[in-house]
Amino acid sequence: MPHHEQGRLSPAEIANYLQGINFPCSKRDLISHCRTQNCPTNVLNFLEKMPDRQYFSMADVMQGVGQVE
């Protein structure tokens, strides 16, 4: 089981739930895709905090992940 510092998720954990998503996509698309993957609530809550914009690649998503406080 991965350890989280103060509830932080690792980028790898988030990427795992986003496998197979089609780019470009919106933040809403990321959240919808995660729901279909039965991801945990903490991942959904994290995605909700990401910048509301278009994402063009997994690297782009990871940049958005890095912007979440």
- pLDDT the model gives residue 7: 59
Q: Decide if pLDDT at 6 tops 50.
A: no
Give the residue extent of every domain in the chain.
11-66
The DSSP bridge partners found for residue 54 are: 26
Exposed, middle or buried, 57 (CB in 10 Å: 0-12/13-18/19+)? exposed
Q: Decide if pLDDT at 2 tops 70.
A: no
Q: Decide if pLDDT at 43 tops 90.
A: yes
- How high does pLDDT run on average in the chain? 89
Q: Is the pTM of this model over 0.75?
A: yes
CA distance 56 to 42: 23
